[in-house]
A and B are shown apart, each in its own frame.
Chain A
Amino acid sequence: MHRVTWLSLASFVVPVLLAAQQPTAPHDSVRGAIRAVDTRARTLEVTTGVGLALRVVRLQVPAAVPITDQKGAQSAPINLTALKPGDVIRVSFGSRPTGFVAYTIERLGRMEAGVP
């Protein structure tokens, strides 16, 4: 009886503990052009959308978020200060009570130069 009870309890508790230890899974990802960067507040605004249904995604960028510059197959780490309006980026992000929070940011190129 005790064994069954512990197994039942474990079946509830273990997934919760495991989930708590794992990083939050990406909620979504977006590819778009940077509209604004605030390096002091560590926020980004990205314009994206489908057809003429355009949206702006506002993101907080915690200091630990990896930001990389993609050049072909090469990837190099960069700082938030290196990101500029007109950069095309791909961001994975999640939702928090305070808004969207970036998990990873990849700079893919410049909008005017084209990105395949």
Chain B
Amino acid sequence: MTRYWIAAAAICGAAACRQPKLGDTLPGLTTAQRAQFDSGLVIFDSTFTPQVGLGPLFNASGCGECHEDPVTGGGGDEVEHHAAVFHPERAGAMCDELADKGGPVFQDSLTPALHAALGIDREPRPPDATVVAERSTPDVFGFGLLDAVPDSVILSYADPNDTNHDGISGRPNRFFDGRLGRFGRKALVPALREFNDGAFSAEIGITNPSVPVEGTVGPDSLPAGTDPASDPEIGARALVLTDAFVRLLAPPAPLKQSREAQHGRDVFAQVGCTGCHIPTLTTGDNPIAALRHKTVAAYTDLLLHDMGAELGAGDICFGLATASEFRTEPLMGLRFATRFMHNGRATTPQQAVEMHAGEGARARDLFAALPAADRAALLAFLKTL
């Protein structure tokens, strides 16, 4: 574990030398990369209208409408809805993401034209959905670095059968084509570019070269005349630039730690939080030098962990993930978050710790049993991330 702290200290040391502003780029970009980032920011912050492709179903009229706090690329207080059906009896296909019925993302808004045609106020949820789950809006700081972590690094932390008997058994999720997943609260999506391209469709209703066809309204096609913009509604260049903005967005540099926070960092490890919230990940080779062989204080293993029946009761299966399995949430930028956990139900880091169960139960219980000063120190440490 010592190597993690040395690496984290090196990051903090570097941060002390140069504190990038929140929302700034990764250091070391070329002029061309910086220009792509700036152009991508404009698209990310754009507001789409029905005339240029918004909807007809959507959750937001632009990326920046939700990813906005405290700066563009940050989190938001919006909560959206995902639904699925869990079929434990179906070997190999236990999860039905309702992709043929408008799922898994069920949009909460629609254009006036679609409202006039169908008289609905949101996409209807299929009656056979096992559960409709809530999803809060995370920040996307540092996601380019997470994308650049080799699969082999993530898989090196997997211990699906808990062979080391530490009560933690991280396992990978897989996309439907078999590739390792890492993005999203259930780690379904393998690559940042795909997450971004898909979000234009699933969140804003913007067709694009990667998703050239509009989604359905539940299982049904869009009524004629409700989608005035021709497909694709944005081009390949817009996708490239938006991806560049997200990819090159720097993670918030951890703050210089007080003596209390340094103690809290040690307590964080002692109670077992680092079993899943791996302090640092290292990227591999990458065509972008700013992403190549970098150490990032991500505090995640990007794997699925069973978080217990209570959290699972209100959530969906997704790919290989069961309802109670969630990807370890990255903690970089935690100090800027105002809502915590996948559904935003926790309003403080302490509440979030207390909601951990399943594989996180032991660490939660050890945290609860700590002397008050140690608990305060751990929370002080989290406020430096």
Contact = CB atoms under 8 A, between A and B. Distances in A.
A47 B99 contact: yes
B198 interface: yes
A85 interface: yes
Interface of B: 82, 90-93, 96-97, 99-100, 103-105, 172, 174, 176-180, 183-184, 188-189, 194-199, 201-202, 210-211, 215, 319-320
Contact of B177 (A31, A45, A84, A112): A31
A4 B259 CA distance: 94
Contacts of B188: 52
Given A112-B174, A116-B178, 10 more contacts: A33-B93, A33-B178, A35-B96, A49-B176, A50-B197, A51-B183, A53-B198, A54-B97, A54-B99, A54-B103
Interface in A90-116: 108-116
Contact of B202 (A35, A51, A112, A113): A51
A52 B184 contact: yes
Pick the 8 closest A-B CB pairs, nearest first. A51-B198, A86-B92, A115-B178, A85-B93, A54-B99, A56-B100, A53-B198, A53-B201
Nearest to B105: A52
Contacts of A115: 177-179
Contact of B197 (A46, A51, A109, A110): A51
A84 B93 CA distance: 9
A3 to B, nearest CB: 46
Given A33-B177, A112-B320, A52 B92 contact: no
Contacts of B178: 33, 88, 108-111, 113-116
B174 A52 contact: no
Nearest to A88: B178
Contact of A86 (B91, B96, B199): B91
Interface of A: 31-36, 45-56, 84-88, 108-116
Given A50-B211, A53-B198, A54-B99, A32 B177 contact: yes
A51 B177 contact: no
A52 B177 contact: no
Contacts of B319: 111
Contacts of B180: 114
B352 to A, nearest CB: 23
Given A52-B105, A88-B176, A111 B92 contact: yes
A45 B103 CA distance: 15
A108 to B, nearest CB: 7
B211 A85 contact: no
B61 to A, nearest CB: 17
Contacts of A35: 93, 96
B110 to A, nearest CB: 17
Contacts of A53: 105, 197-199, 201-202, 211, 215
Nearest to A46: B176
Nearest to B184: A52
A56 B210 contact: no
Contacts of A50: 194, 197-198, 201, 210-211
25 contacts: A31-B177, A33-B176, A34-B93, A35-B93, A36-B93, A45-B100, A49-B99, A49-B176, A49-B198, A50-B201, A51-B183, A51-B195, A53-B197, A53-B198, A54-B176, A84-B92, A85-B92, A85-B93, A109-B178, A110-B178, A111-B174, A111-B176, A112-B174, A114-B172, A115-B177
A115 to B, nearest CB: 3
Contacts of A84: 91-92
Contacts of A55: 99-100
Nearest to A32: B176
Contacts of A109: 178
A33, A51, A86, A88 pick with most chain B CB within 10 angstroms: A51
